Amino acid sequence: MTRKAAIIGGGVIGGGWAARFLLNGWNVSVFDPDPEAARKIGEVMANARASLPALSDIPMLEEGVLSFADTITEAVEGADYIQESVSERLELKHRVFAQIQQSCPDTLIGSSTSGFKPSELQQNAANPAMIFVAHPFNPVYLLPLAEVVPSPASDPAAIERAKEILREIGMFPLHVRKEIDAHIADRFLEAVWREALWLVKDGIATTEEIDEAIRMGFGLRWGQMGLFETYRVAGGEAGMKHFMAQFGPCLQWPWTKLTDVPEFTDELVDLIAGQSDAQSGHHTIRELERIRDGNLVGFLRSLKDRNWGAGKVLREHDARRRVAFTDGSREIAAAPLAMAQMQVLPSWIDYNGHMTESRYLFAASETSDAFLRFIGADMDYVASGFSYYTAESHIMHKGEAKLGDRLTGTLQVLSADAKRMHIFIAIQKNGVDVATIEQMLLHVDMTAGRAVAAPEAILDRLMPVAAAHAGVARPEAAGRFTGERK
Amino acid sequence: MTRKAAIIGGGVIGGGWAARFLLNGWNVSVFDPDPEAARKIGEVMANARASLPALSDIPMLEEGVLSFADTITEAVEGADYIQESVSERLELKHRVFAQIQQSCPDTLIGSSTSGFKPSELQQNAANPAMIFVAHPFNPVYLLPLAEVVPSPASDPAAIERAKEILREIGMFPLHVRKEIDAHIADRFLEAVWREALWLVKDGIATTEEIDEAIRMGFGLRWGQMGLFETYRVAGGEAGMKHFMAQFGPCLQWPWTKLTDVPEFTDELVDLIAGQSDAQSGHHTIRELERIRDGNLVGFLRSLKDRNWGAGKVLREHDARRRVAFTDGSREIAAAPLAMAQMQVLPSWIDYNGHMTESRYLFAASETSDAFLRFIGADMDYVASGFSYYTAESHIMHKGEAKLGDRLTGTLQVLSADAKRMHIFIAIQKNGVDVATIEQMLLHVDMTAGRAVAAPEAILDRLMPVAAAHAGVARPEAAGRFTGERK
């Protein structure tokens, strides 16, 4: 059954949570007294729909249903998880928790607070054990981090359940073992922010120069390794101790404004806002959001290719969802077999806005892999040391597939013998070919590294298909060479 | 004529400078009394050769000649640029500058210092005007940032010359207008480092947890926007002032350890080194360097696709070097063009442990895309409504590529006219084909949806290549149909 998340507070952060739950198949009920809440969440959803699916190599689950509640009580009714993202005022958060726990005392309540400790949030609560910090990072629908902070009064089993739910929506729950003001990440952000304010105030650098100093250098490092691993590498062969021996003493130097916070005068605010306008004012906030999301998708996909850092989280999220997409058994007819159903994902799109060339061959592989599983040449068979290898392929592009198109991969066996399998694949949209792929596959003994006859168990399944397909007309495109005139 | 850079100090940073200059076609002379210097620089060069070319869409210039000098005087003789990267001891740096300026008083001297101000470096120098800070970030061969800091005694024309040289080797010189201890970026790094030490010392988080708190969240943001632009977006429609009104008061909260630096005891060093071993000790430093470099290449290429941040620097660097090919100063050889350098990434591997089929076509696309950019059919051209579309492809699989293999994509133009381009791509490992891809491309008016003649600007670049390649032997695999017997 579809699960329900209640989102209390529908600003940028609450909207981001709503988007993450909805796009991962949860129903979401939002409570926010702001009359603009529906519009604002709609805008976050539009950004999320345009970016989050690009991280997936699995078709997305059907989006959940979004609703808006008139009261907190209505929003949390029947919820499996509740996330609070109201303003950073402790007494307001206390009132919200009290109201939630009047009707749902045993439901998980994560708080998006940047600064409060869970023990502060739990003060005077009906059931403190269910309240904890789940601190996300904007944009919530793309960045995996959620700092999960319990207090000693939290129920450890509840915290484990919460972490599992966060993983299910593609996040990386970082369990912060000891509560502390601002958890972990925001302590760093505050330290940098304070130092940056001094640099601007003292006229050392503008907001733009500071941003360049970050994104042209260490910002790139920190997106894939953090602080310590980066320095471990910098220490070189001599390692971490050597690095610390070098860098440690510098801490005594008078580099940073240790003891002081710049006064937040109107003058300083105007200075910063003015510099920020000069730096970024030629883009609207909406444009900047889309640029940011596109960049983050690029970083995340790149890490996914390398199975590293946040990319590992994405792969695990795919693996968890792949279970829902197992194929069933199929019948043999004297017609090409419809072996694979696919959807064009954002990551399949090139800069022309069309499905990128190599994805047609990818779609063909999905189709032939399904056929190989069908005749028994599945993963277990490969593990036994045998497999079909593709020797050559000829691709004809006949149409264009675009984002979201549903594609079917059909397969016709042109001929087959013990060692060879000559197949013809059509990738179709609404029954019309967008590409055809003719392939020659060889049955290979991977240990010996040469083609050998397939065993009877395989041939007993392959040859009846070949026989059935012998009566099917040979496609016109078969046997063509590249550049041949029609 | 090939220019010469002198590198004084050949550690991780000096080696990174050497690699950047060499791979951008400069000759480099290194002075470092360490008997291990040649080996250490060799290892940096191996990393640089394995990663930097992957950022280029232009064939790399011929690598410069690396030599090792016995004295500073020998190293700097005839140098067009000198970079000092010795240990952070002011009196040592003063001695180095004095020795350099005995023979080369008028040559640019950049210092890699993290902390010293240029006015400190210039003290007692024969010619202070030539000494300035050029502070890079590790790995120097990949990260574009160089903080360029003059003092009032610096020669402004010399600083402009230095910035131009840094741009020529693909860097982003950030002109820091007022000198200050630690320039800009390292002030942030120190603030975060200090806070991180407290978190470890107080047992709040391990080095691994701290790294996850960075790389799963704000680290990804900072690689593409900096601090202020990120917050401008976070402020949403209400903008930067709204954000500051929200976040400003938090500065008064007791979040960070403002007044204190943890004592650098053996106990703290052991605690951190031990946690770092537990976190990253299963990789050697060399492995971590390669992982880091691969990730950075992924981020940088992703930004390059989007023409944003550090990716803009890469595009400008390409544009600068493209001139060398298009102004006729470099002849097109009568040989296939090596257009793309790639590495088989984890996501390219199938369940057989081999490079997955569609990735061969992907590698071919990388190769043909690089060629299209080379002849001017780049992203801007596509944005103008025209593009080359692939009409058909024939792939021959001739070998196997596995995880980590380095691949080169070469491209030969078989024939070309105003509308058509018939090309032959070889994907090679160690000079041996693992796959060949023959393709027919059509020049298309995307609005009209039909093939049209390419403009002269494109043909002027394409046809000389086609003419040069007319003399190259036609590959045996060209013109084959699928299943054709040899």
Q: List the single residue in A184, A232, A255 with the smallest CB-CB distance to B182.
A: A255
How confident is residue A267, by pLDDT bands cut at 50, 70 and 90?
A: confident
B271 has a chain A CB within 8 A of its CB: no
pLDDT at A322: 64
Query: DSSP 3-state assignment of A80?
Result: coil
Amino acid A255: pLDDT: 46
* Structure confidence at residue A260 (pLDDT): 57
Count of CB pairs separated by less than 8 Å, A with B: 515
Q: Which has the higher per-residue pLDDT, A184 or B331? A: A184
B95 pLDDT higher than 50: yes
pLDDT bin (cut points 50, 70, 90) of residue A262 is: low
Pair A169, A16: CB distance under 8 Å: no
Across A295-318, b (16+ Cβ under 10 Å) vs e yields bbbbbbbbbbbbebbbbebbbebe
SS3 A56: coil
B10-42 pLDDT tens trace = 999 999 999 999 999 999 999 999 999 999 999
Residue B38 near chain A (CB below 8 Å): no
Task: Assess contact for B208 and B144: CB atoms under 8 A.
Answer: no
> Min CA distance, B359 vs chain A (Å)?
7
For position B356, what pLDDT does the model report?
85
Which residues in chain B have their CB less than 8 angstroms from residue A211's CB?
225-229
B250–A contact, CB cutoff 8 A = yes
* Cβ neighbours of A267 in B, within 8 Å: none
Query: pLDDT tens across B215-245, in order?
Result: 999 999 999 998 899 888 887 767 777 777 7
Integer CA distances (angstroms), B304 to A224, B297, B309, B410, in order: 17, 10, 8, 22
Cα separation of A286 and A299, whole Å? Answer: 20
Put simply, whether B274 touches A (Cβ < 8 Å) is no
DSSP A447: T
Model confidence at B260: pLDDT above 70: no
Listed in sequence order, the residues at least 6 apart from B262 whose beta carbon sits closer than 8 Å to its beta carbon are B194, B197, B198, B201, B268
Residues of B in contact with A296 (CB under 8 A): 220-221, 224
pLDDT tens for residues A111-122? 999 989 999 999
What is the average per-residue pLDDT within A254-281?
72
Q: How much of chain B, in percent, has pLDDT values that exceed 90?
A: 61
- Mean pLDDT calculated for residue range A106-111: 98
Using the Cβ of A295 and the Cβ atoms of chain B, whether some distance falls under 8 Å is answered with yes
Residue B157, pLDDT above cutoff 80: yes
User: pLDDT digit string (tens) for B400-419?
Assistant: 898 878 899 999 999 999 99
Q: What is the rounded distance in angstroms from the CA atom of residue B43 to the CA atom of residue A233?
A: 14
Helices (H) and strands (E) in chain A, counts: 17, 14
Q: Tell me the average pLDDT of chain A.
A: 89
Query: Both tokens of residue A273?
Result: 């806002």
- Residue B399 class from Cβ within 10 Å (0-12 exposed, 13-18 middle, 19+ buried)? middle
pLDDT tens digit sequence for A204-236: 999 999 999 999 999 999 999 988 998 888 877
* pLDDT(B190) > 90: no
pLDDT digits (tens, 9 = 90+) for B294-313: 999 999 988 987 889 999 99
What's the whole-number mean pLDDT along residues A148-159?
97
Q: Where are the alpha helices (DSSP H) in A263-356?
A: 266-280, 285-305, 310-322
Q: Are B482 and A479 within 8 A, CB to CB? A: yes
Q: Is the pLDDT of residue B129 over 50?
A: yes
Residue B352 is predicted with a pLDDT of 66
> Domains in chain B, ordered, with CATH?
4-175 (3.40.50.720), 185-282 (1.10.1040.10), 332-469 (3.10.129.10)
Q: Does B390 sit within 8 Å of A482, measured CB to CB?
A: no
Per-window interface: A 102-141 vs B, CB < 8 A: 114-115, 137-138
Share of chain A above pLDDT 90, in %: 59
Q: Do B397 and A382 touch (CB under 8 A)?
A: no
| Closest to B128 in 3D by CA, of B103, B151, B160, B159 | B151
Could you tell me the pLDDT band of residue A128, with boundaries at 50, 70 and 90?
A: very high
pLDDT of residue A175: 98
- The Cα B22–Cα B45 span in angstroms is 9
Name residue A438's beta-bridge partners: A394, A424
pLDDT at B255: 47
Please say if the pLDDT value at position A71 is more than 70: yes
Query: How far apart are the C-alpha atoms of A361 and A438, rounded to whole Å?
Result: 10
Mean residue pLDDT across chain B: 89
Q: Which residues of B touch A423 (CB under 8 A)?
A: none
Chain-chain contact of B303 with A313 (C-beta, under 8 angstroms): no
Partners of B275 on chain A (C-beta within 8 Å) are 228
Instruction: Kindly state whether A244 is in contact with chain B, defined as any CB-CB distance less than 8 angstroms.
Output: yes
Burial class (CB in 10 A: 0-12, 13-18, 19+), A175: middle
Locus of tokens 């067009």? B80
Burial class (CB in 10 A: 0-12, 13-18, 19+), A108: buried
* Tokens describing residue B33: 């009394």
pLDDT at B257: 47
Choose among B212, B236, B310: nearest Cβ to A215: B310
Which H or E run includes B419? none
Q: Which residues of B touch A390 (CB under 8 A)?
A: 357, 397
pTM: 0.81
Choice among A15-29, A82-96, A115-129, B325-339 with the minimum mean pLDDT: B325-339
